[in-house]
Chain A
Amino acid sequence: MPLELLLALVLGGISGIAVLLHLTGRSRLAVLSAETARTGWLRHFPGDKISKVLPAASGQAVLVLTEGGPGLLWVFGADTVGRRLAESKIRETATGLRFEFNDFAAPGLSLPLSDGERLQWLALISPPEEAA
């Protein structure tokens, strides 16, 4: 097959499928509740015992507290991904929190949170007695 034709087929095919999927609503993000967050976290970490889940008001992420420490579950397209926060760097931003996971397969995540949520999450991620 001539390279030009192959290139046109590939580019046209990818573009056409992308447009079709987007226009038919396949770009919608999942929305997390406390219940779906528990299920979602245990799907990624089936051996964990969850003590508390705190969904963000946006429904795009959930702080999960487990016996092994805090973790973050967030929306990834129509699905979710989760990471433990023990080795993560977390900093405050103007709109919420920024998470760096030290993981090439999980680039940093900027999460919009209200001031109240941000303070509550930070307190739960790093309780004062642990931070001391």
Chain B
Amino acid sequence: MTGDISYPDATQLAVPFFIAAILAEFLWIALMRRGGRYETRDAVTSLIMGAGSVAEGLLLGFIAWGFLMTLWQLTPLDMGTSIWAVLACFVLDDLRYYWVHRFGHRVRWVWASHVNHHSSQHYNLTTALRQTWTGTFTFMMVVKAPMVLLGFHPALVLFCGGLNLIYQFWIHTEAVTRLPRWFEAVMNTPSHHRAHHGRNPRYLDCNYAGVFIIWDRMFGTFVPEQNHDRPDYGLVHNIATFNPLRVAFHEWIGIFQDMAQPGLTWKQRLLYAIAPPGYSHDGSRDTSAGIKAAHLARHPEDAGTPGFGG
């Protein structure tokens, strides 16, 4: 097997670039008077969430690392560290990201971690840094297991995951409208990801891609951004706090409050944790399917259009 190998922590090295890009985007918006908007407390909250996410990685990263290294000791396969191995790992890791991200929107336990990334009503480069503090507790590191068992070293897998996140940074902007058609066909772009951040019924549960939008096209979750239905950013039920602690933990608190309600069956308690966001035992809340159905009842003309079965 490949001996001890190490890769740089790409996310940490990118911090100066993140700061410079945010300043450049802000200047662009200020000078051109278009291409997005900034709000002080919203941006500061996003940046603190980003810093906290890096801190969480430093504090708890050993858990995922230990798990993956255990698997590495077990596998007889070794893909090595050639450029082809890195490229294959990057593509496979992007497929891994697609499914983790999809679980992040369809399983409330994972949504509890991911929700904070969607909790801003703004969409600019600081939103990209509004990252989770609780990713370790979703146990989604298990989705990396097949890659390690296939022979990709954990250090390489984590390195590719870092590159994936860095790619996604620049697509959190309204300053870029549309890119050449070939690029929009293959790559995740600002336009595709704006749709993903839309709370409009049309855009719920779409465009989970990290780097390559082809996964959404393959698995039927692609919805193109519509000029007549601009994404309205944020959550279906927007949070009313800039407090990073509340941002980071509000959905976890919600899960435990729901599960602790008196009079529920064990199945109902479990579903409050793992069913899609919006599940309720008495039907008092709406999942994304219910929200789309209610929208079509009000706007039947949208049936068959992108995001509504079209």
Contact = CB atoms under 8 A, between A and B. Distances in A.
Given A18-B43, A21-B38, A46-B298, A83 B242 contact: no
B295 A46 contact: yes
B298 A26 contact: no
B40 A81 contact: no
A17 B240 contact: no
B246 A17 contact: no
B26 A107 contact: no
Interface centre among B12, B30, B47, B238 (most CB of A within 10 A): B238
B61 interface: no
B13 interface: yes
B23 interface: yes
A22 B126 CA distance: 15
A76 B240 contact: yes
Interface in A58-111: 74, 76-79, 81-83, 101, 103-107, 109
B176 to A, nearest CB: 20
Interface residues of B, number: 44
A77 B47 contact: no
A46 B18 CA distance: 36
A44 B238 contact: yes
A132 interface: no
Contacts of B47: 13-14, 17
Interface in A11-51: 13-14, 16-18, 20-22, 24, 26-27, 43-44, 46-47
Interface size class of A (residues with CB under 8 A): 20 to 34
A122 interface: no
B15 A9 contact: yes
Contacts of A131: none
B41 A77 contact: yes
B184 interface: no
Contacts of A47: 294, 298
A6 to B, nearest CB: 6
Given A24-B30, A77-B42, A107-B246, A17 B22 contact: yes
A21 B38 CA distance: 8
Contacts of B41: 27, 77
Given A6-B15, A13-B19, A77 B39 contact: yes
B163 to A, nearest CB: 16
Contacts of A6: 12, 15, 54
Nearest to B239: A105
A111 to B, nearest CB: 13
B16 A9 contact: yes
Interface in B224-260: 232, 234, 237-243, 246, 249-250, 253-254, 257
Interface in B25-62: 26, 30, 37-44, 47-48, 51, 54
Given A24-B30, A26-B39, A27-B40, A105 B240 contact: yes
A10 interface: yes
Contacts of B39: 21, 26-27, 77-79
A96 B19 CA distance: 42
B121 interface: yes
27 contacts: A6-B54, A13-B15, A13-B19, A14-B44, A14-B48, A17-B44, A17-B126, A18-B40, A20-B23, A21-B39, A26-B39, A27-B40, A43-B232, A76-B238, A76-B240, A77-B41, A77-B121, A79-B121, A79-B122, A79-B234, A79-B238, A81-B240, A83-B240, A104-B249, A104-B257, A105-B241, A105-B254
